[in-house]
Amino acid sequence: MMASQVASHVASQVVNNKTCAQCEISFKGKSPKCFNCSICNFWFCLECSHVSNKVYDVLKSEPNVKNLPFNCDGCTRVLPKITELAKALHLQQLKIESCEKKYEDLKNTLQSVVEEQVEKAITEYREREERKLNIIIHNVPEPRAESTDKKGDDEISLKEILLTTKCVGLKNFDFVRLGRPSDGRDRLIKVTLGSVSDKHRVLGGTRYLRAKIGQVYAHRWSKIFITPDQTKEERIKNMNLKRELEKRKLEEKNHDLIIFRWEIVERRPDSLVNSTMATPGISEPGRPFRL
Ligand SMILES: [Zn+2]
Ligand SMILES: [Zn+2]
């Protein structure tokens, strides 16, 4: 037996087990000579501990070795395996802790991503709601600089445009020029209509702006185009869709492709698609709709 195995837990402590765990010999007296294994916690007689009476007495009287741990034969045999297992267990524990941390981080990231997306969706929804009655009119010439009633001049132009789109009798509409006046540029006009159906009527009527008599536009408003008041997200989506449309027209050599309700579809003859809703309510100058 090695010195470290030999020592301590000598029998000055109270012996709970009445017998040696190996040979089952009964211990005698209040302080029998035996060792307590620091791993299995069983008690062992001197013979089974491989310690002579003489050595035991020395150990007992020597304070330096008195508290060194003792391990029985059985535990000494399995100790390397136990140590190995303890190491493996410790490594597993570290891995689990690392996974738990990663999971926790991921959960937090995911939560903030979801919260951000929800927030974004709510903001987008609100913005669309705020714009749902609006249309944007492009290329309406600015009133003359010397005019004393610019708002009144714009109102006359708007009424004429709406008349041309065959939208007469629209009530409760309001309008404003967007941005500050700048030289040479006709600012956009945002018109807020009284209802969503009024908006669709106007958007649907934009094709009349480019009606032709022979090869000539029938109205002075042929350069006007009217779009829904889109959010930034909708504008980006629309722009991407237009790029995709041009690409597909070239690739598929098909000029009958159009954008209809946020999708690229083939133009059908004499359909509603042709006449009113080609792009989502957008008409473009120089691209007259077929009447
Ligand atoms: Zn024994
Ligand atoms: Zn033991």
Q: Do residues 194 and 172 touch, judged by C-beta distance below 8 A?
A: yes
Q: Distance between CA atoms of 54 and 41, rounded to whole angstroms? A: 24
Mean pLDDT for 256-272 is: 78
Q: Same domain for 172 and 248?
A: yes
Distance 58 CA to ligand 2 centre (A): 22
Q: Same domain for 67 and 198?
A: no
CB-proximal residues (5 Å) to ion ligand 2: 37, 39-40, 72, 75
Predicted confidence band of residue 270 (pLDDT cuts 50, 70, 90) = low
Q: Same domain for 147 and 258?
A: yes
For residue 289, tell me if it sits in a domain.
Answer: no
Nearest to 226 by CA among 136, 166, 133: 136
Burial of 8 (0-12, 13-18, 19+ CB in 10 A): buried
Rounded to 5 degrees, φ, ψ at 156 are -60, -45
Q: Distance between CA atoms of 211 and 165, rounded to whole angstroms? A: 10
Distance 60 CA to ligand 1 centre (A): 19
Is residue 273 scored above 50 in pLDDT?
no
Give residue 283's identity as a one-letter amino acid code: S
- Per-residue pLDDT, 4: 43
pLDDT digits (tens, 9 = 90+) for 30-79: 788 899 998 888 999 999 999 999 998 888 888 777 778 889 999 999 88
Q: Same domain for 126 and 140?
A: no
Q: Same domain for 141 and 238?
A: yes
Domains held by the chain: number: 3
DSSP 91-133: HHHHHHHHHHHHHHHHHHHHHHHHHHHHHHHHHHHHHHHHHTT
Distance 135 CA to ligand 2 centre (A): 88
Distance 26 CA to ligand 2 centre (A): 18
Q: Same domain for 152 and 264?
A: yes
Give residue 254's identity as a one-letter amino acid code: N
Find tokens 């597909």 and name the residue. 248
Q: Same domain for 19 and 151?
A: no
Last residue of a domain, one of 31, 51, 71: 71
For residue 282, tell me if it sits in a domain.
Answer: no
Last residue of a domain, one of 40, 71, 102: 71
Distance 69 CA to ligand 1 centre (A): 18
Q: Same domain for 123 and 236?
A: no
Helix (H, G, I), strand (E, B) or coil at 186: coil
Distance 28 CA to ligand 1 centre (A): 13
Nearest ligand by distance to the CA of 51: 1
For residue 256, tell me if it sits in a domain.
Answer: yes
Question: What domain range is 237 assigned to?
Answer: 134-275
Q: Same domain for 235 and 255?
A: yes
Nearest ligand by distance to the CA of 22: 1
